[in-house]
Amino acid sequence: MTAERLAAAAGCSRFALYRAFRAEFGLAPSDYQRQLRLRHARRLLRSGAAPADAAAATGFADQARFSRWFQRVRHHTRHLSTRVTGRPTATGHGRRQSAQPLDPV
């Protein structure tokens, strides 16, 4: 649903909707939507989905955009996230390798 349609359904302008949403949830509508998509993608990754498949299934334009947002929000790359969870990760050559646990901090 577009912001215009949602605003029309709420009987206000798009900008009033934006301000009300941000006041209520503390995030812009687009940030909230992205957060939901990233949570869903993270669940897919944990269940063994490939990053490209998780990106496509959650509405990201491509794996590169998904990886950038995942890194911004999670403050690390999917590779590091995989190492943290102890699940295998794909290398750049299409092979799978066992993840090495991180040294305790």
Q: Alpha helices, DSSP H only, in the chain?
A: 3-10, 14-25, 29-46, 51-57, 63-74, 78-85
Q: What pLDDT, on a 0 to 100 scale, did the predictor assign at position 105?
A: 34
pLDDT (tens digit, 9 = 90+) per residue, 29-86? 889 999 999 999 989 989 999 989 999 999 999 888 888 888 887 765 555 455 445 5
Q: What pLDDT, on a 0 to 100 scale, did the predictor assign at position 99?
A: 40
| Average of per-residue pLDDT across 16-22 | 94
Domain extent listing, the chain: 28-87
Contacts of 43 by beta carbon, 8 Å cutoff, 6+ apart: none
Q: What pLDDT, on a 0 to 100 scale, did the predictor assign at position 78?
A: 53
Fold of domain 28-87: Arc Repressor Mutant, subunit A (1.10.10)
